[in-house]
Structure 1
Amino acid sequence: MSAAPEAAEGGTAAKGGGRKKLLLLALPVVLGGAGAALWFTGILPGLLGLGPAPGSAGEGTPQAEAPPAPPAFFDMPEIITNLNAPGRRPVFVKLRSKLEITRADDAAAIQAAMPRVLDLFQTYLRETRPEELRGSAGTHRLREELIARANVAVAPPAGSTQRAPRITDVLFTEILIQ
């Protein structure tokens, strides 16, 4: 008769051992998930002193910065140039655009660099094939290239302490290909 109670105790011990294993496996997963949630919500870095917690305005944190100034726009002169088209018939592009600049104060520096900006724009357009300008992808590529060239054109000379104007976007008001 003593074998039956031992078997019953052994079955209970086996069930309890499975629960312990499950608890030991689930506990790190739950703790890791909670830690990740606290980290990515920004609560844990604030508690550890790695950065401010969201919504906290502690003594060590600077006051909220003023909202950024609205961008200014600079009208570009109209550009009419030929494209790199195969065949004997020339293909022209007419481009009217505006430059989006970070500060209105930069307009004078951009106006002073306008011959360089126009030269870089026209040189790029003359090497562009008409099929490269088709569709929204072509317009997006053109915009990215013109932004890069405009920022190069308005950059101050090397070694200068002058602050460089920053062109953030080229907005097309008219693109006509004939």
Structure 2
Amino acid sequence: MADNEAEGSAGETPEGAGPKSKLKLIIAVVAVLLIGGGGATWFFFFRHHGEEVHAEAPVAKPPSFVEVPDMLINLIGGPGERVQYLKVKVVLEVKEEKQAEAIKPSMPRVTDIFQTYLRELRPTDLNGSVGLFRLKEELTRRVNAVIAPIQVNAVLFKEIVVQ
């Protein structure tokens, strides 16, 4: 019996050492991978170089503005209604100063196209912010058609009064 116990304990050691050493090997490999992955992540994403030079964004030129002469227009009303007037001060926004200078000779044409359109409006067309937004969009579309190939970025209201 003593021989059997000696053989059993001797037989358990090689078999018992195998699974324990495999488990230790797996844990060691996982630890190395985690440490290596953490180091690689830090190296590629979090390390800051002292010598890096960031390219500066080009300085954006401020837009230029072109004043349109003030306009006083009578709005369309129904028969028997009192006459209502629209007073508008408008500015055109363009990208560059040279575009602003190119628009100035066409200013009588721009004023004419604005007045022709504005005379067709009813007071209800200008109600609320939606009415003013539509008016801006329509005036922008019309001025761009008149001064093509130059493009106006926006028509800006300095003053708008319905009386």
Deviation, 1:85, is 1.4
In structure 2, what is the Cα distance between the partners aligned to 1:74 and 1:129? 27
Determine which of 117, 123, 137 is the counterpart of 2:110. 117
Deviation, 1:138, is 0.4
Correspondence for 2:144: 151
In structure 2, what is the Cα distance between the partners aligned to 1:99 and 1:85? 29
Determine which of 61, 79, 90 is the counterpart of 2:83. 90
Q: Percent identity?
A: 42
In structure 2, what is the Cα distance between the partners aligned to 1:110 and 1:103? 11
Deviation, 1:87, is 2.4
Correspondence for 1:26: none
Deviation, 1:68, is 3.6
Matched, 1:172 2:157: yes
- For residues 98-117 of structure 1, the aligned pairs below 5 Å read 98-117=91-110
In structure 2, what is the Cα distance between the partners aligned to 1:74 and 1:130? 27
Structure 1 unaligned blocks of 5 or more: 1-62, 156-163
Q: Deviations over 1:14-59 (max 9, x none)?
A: xxxxxxxxxxxxxxxxxxxxxxxxxxxxxxxxxxxxxxxxxxxxxx
Normalising by structure 2, we get a TM-score of 0.61
Deviation, 1:65, is 7.2
Q: RMSD across aligned C-alpha pairs, in angstroms? A: 1.7
Q: Secondary structure at the match of 2:153?
A: strand
- For residues 63-74 of structure 1, the aligned pairs below 5 Å read 66-74=58-66
Structure index of larger Rg = 2
Deviation, 1:148, is 0.5
> Would you say how many aligned residue pairs link Structure 1 and Structure 2?
108
Q: Secondary structure at the match of 2:111?
A: helix
- For residues 8-27 of structure 1, the aligned pairs below 5 Å read none
Deviation, 1:91, is 1.3
Normalising by structure 1, we get a TM-score of 0.57
Q: Deviations over 1:75-98 (max 9, x none)?
A: 111011111111242211000011
Q: Deviations over 1:116-171 (max 9, x none)?
A: 1111111111111110101000000000000001111111xxxxxxxx22101111
RCO (CA 8 Å, sep 6+): is it higher in 1 or 2?
2
In structure 2, what is the Cα distance between the partners aligned to 1:67 and 1:140? 30
Structure 2 unaligned blocks of 5 or more: 1-54
